[in-house]
Amino acid sequence: MTSGKSEQTPNTRTVLKGKDAAKLWHKGIVEWNLWVEENPDADVDFSNFDFSKLRPLCRDGVLSFANFEFPKGNVSFAFARFGNGDVDFENAHFKAGKIDFSGAEFGVGKINFEFTHFEEGEVSFANTDFGTGDVIFHCTHFGDGRVSFEKTKFGDGDISFFGSQFGTGNIIFTHSVHGKGSIGFIYTQFGCGNLLFNDVTLKERQLVFKEAQLGEGMYEFKRVFFGLPVNLVDLIDTKKVTQLNFQGSIFDADVDMGSISLTQPVNLIDTEFHGKLNLDTIDCQLTREPFNPKMQFLLKAKDNKVHLCFERLAQLAATHSTQEKFEEYKCKQYRSRRWLVDNPAKSTFDLCFSGIAGYGYDFKRPVITLVASWIIFSLLYFALTFTAHDYCSSVSTPINISWSSMVPVVQVAAEIREQFTAVCMSKNTRGLLQFFMLLQGTFALICYGLLFTAAWRKYR
């Protein structure tokens, strides 16, 4: 049996804390892991403990928890003081409880969480001061709990999540403070949680995403100041991303969005770009919003500012990209504002608005659309006329038309209509005639509506 002292909580769970926990840790990994094996559900509490006094007793002055196993209960290093020197949690294994480093203070030295395994519990580094030195989370596994670096202070040194894996919990860097260096998500695998990087100043720290695999969450960088180039290269599974949001951010250097494909437009509303912006390889698709059963007929669907995002992209493309890219975003801006209805007329309206939505910035193309629509509707009317002719032929004297290759099709159609009208009137089929005349008028109104809408969008 190990000799580590512990306390009992009111719910009979063992708590190893303070000096007792420090003594057991100082005995080494064998004694520690044996105690954990005997107390698998215990809590470990190093909160407010000053580890800096134990550095002279440690090998090379390194505070090491490498390969340590922790019990399933909560583990707290809240407001612990580690002092100057390296801190090593390499390959440590934290179980399902909450892992709390909030308010901890690190000094000058490397902080290593390489290959550390966090299971299902929440991991909090909120308000932690990492001091000066590299912070390494290489190949670290985070469970489905929330991972918080909110209001965390990072000094000079690189922050690396190389090859790390996140679960379904949110990853929060909001209001964090940064010194010099880089923060890299290279080959990082994200889960379904959101990455929230809002209200941060990265004046001398470079943000790098390279071949990171994104999940089905939101990636927000709102109101961030980027002082160094931003590099989003070769991101994987970007179509899963719910939203990529840089609203209100300032880019003081070049931005390379890389070759990314999104199902929603990247939000660059109210952003400022003082360097080069590469939009040429971005593919922002337009997806239909889910239908709202309470929406009434012809009520415009909410698009969650999608059209505003495309409008902003079109403005940026006008100065930072090609004319083709500008026209693409302008087209999608119009398409994002189309009508959504849930009735038999849905397909008709969707066809009409989609037919001219991509041509609002060019007046020549609506004319082509109008002509093509008129031809199609004329052919439909012609087919309906012959259908009615066959119907009337069964109840009246057949209509005689002399076909000739020299007679224009329009003249033939006019002759059919004249004799068809006479037949309908003679047989009291006025309702049928009015029905087909109504169809013809509807087709004409739709065609003129296409031209009017295109002209209004062009010159409004």
Q: What is the pTM of this model?
A: 0.72
Provide, rounded to the nearest whole percent, the portion of the chain with pLDDT above 90. Answer: 44
3-state per-residue secondary structure call for 116-168: CEECCCCEECCCCECCECCEECCCCECCCCCEECCCCEECCCCEECCCCECCC
Instruction: State which of 263, 292, 321 marks the end of a domain.
Output: 292
pLDDT at 129 over 60: yes
C-alpha to C-alpha distance for 356 and 10, rounded to whole angstroms: 70
Q: Is residue 181 part of a domain?
A: yes
SS3 content of the chain, % helix, strand, coil (to 5): 35, 20, 45
pLDDT tens-digit readout, 173-224: 999 999 999 999 999 999 999 999 999 999 999 998 888 999 888 999 999 9
User: Does 34 have pLDDT greater than 70?
Assistant: yes
pLDDT band of 450, cuts 50, 70, 90: low
One domain, residues 23 and 119: yes
Residue 437 lies inside a defined structural domain of this protein = yes
In-domain check, residue 346: no
Counting the structural domains of the chain, the total is 2
358 domain residue, yes or no: no
For residue 9, is pLDDT > 50? no
Domain boundary among 292, 317, 332: 292
Per-residue pLDDT at 300 exceeds 50: no
pLDDT range class, residue 163, cuts 50, 70, 90: very high
Task: Evaluate whether residue 246 is within a structural domain.
Answer: yes
274: CB partners within 8 A, 6+ apart:
250, 251, 252, 253
pLDDT recorded at residue 250 = 95
Position 265 scores a pLDDT of: 87
260 within 8 A of 236, measured Cβ to Cβ: no
Residues 162 and 280 in one domain: yes
Statement: residue 275 has pLDDT above 60 = yes
pLDDT single digits (tens) 248-268: 999 999 988 777 888 888 899
- Tell me if 378 is assigned to some domain: yes
Rounded CA-CA distance 2/277 in Å is: 61
Lowest-pLDDT range of 82-96, 152-166, 262-276, 403-417: 403-417
Angle between helices 29-38 and 18-27 (to 10 degrees): 120
Share of the chain above pLDDT 70, in %: 66
100 CB neighbour count, 10 Å cutoff: 25
* 280 and 370, same domain (yes or no): no
353 located within any domain? no
pLDDT tier for residue 110 given thresholds of 50, 70 and 90: very high
Domain that holds residue 105: 7-292
The verdict on 270 and 370 lying in the same domain is: no
Check whether residue 227 and residue 109 sit in a common domain: yes
Q: Which of 139, 172, 178, 143 is nearest to 159 (CA)?
A: 178
35 lies in the same domain as 127:
yes
Chain mean pLDDT for the chain = 78
Task: Tell me: pLDDT of 408 over 80.
Answer: no
* Residue 181 β-bridge partners: 205
The tokens for 85 are 């020197």
Last residue of a domain, one of 257, 292, 327: 292
Report the 10 Å Cβ neighbour count for 74.
21
CB 212 within 8 A of CB 244: no
pLDDT in tens, 40-73: 999 999 999 999 988 888 888 899 999 999 999 9
Q: Are residues 130 and 224 in the same domain?
A: yes
Residue 394 has pLDDT above 60, yes or no: no
Secondary structure (H, E, C), 294-359:
CCCCCCCCCCCCHHHHHHHHHHHHHHHCCHHHHHHHHHHHHHCCCCCCCCCCHHHHHHHHHHHHCC
- The answer to whether residues 239 and 91 belong to one domain is yes
Kindly report, residue by residue over 337-381, the tens digit of the pLDDT.
654 444 445 555 555 555 554 444 444 555 665 666 667 666 766
- Report yes or no on 309 lying in a domain: no
Can you tell me the distance from the alpha carbon of 276 to that of 274, in angstroms, rounded to the nearest whole number?
A: 7
Residue 402: pLDDT band by 50, 70, 90 thresholds?
A: very low
pLDDT for 261 equals: 83
At position 18, the amino acid (one-letter code) is G
**pLDDT of amino acid 234:** 78
Q: Is the torsion defined by CA of 138, 140, 142, 147 positive or negative?
A: negative
Amino acid at 146: R
137 and 265 share one domain: yes
User: What is the reported pLDDT for 372?
Assistant: 67
Q: Do 36 and 176 have their domain in common? A: yes
The pLDDT value given to residue 381: 63
Based on the domain organization, do 284 and 370 belong to the same domain? no
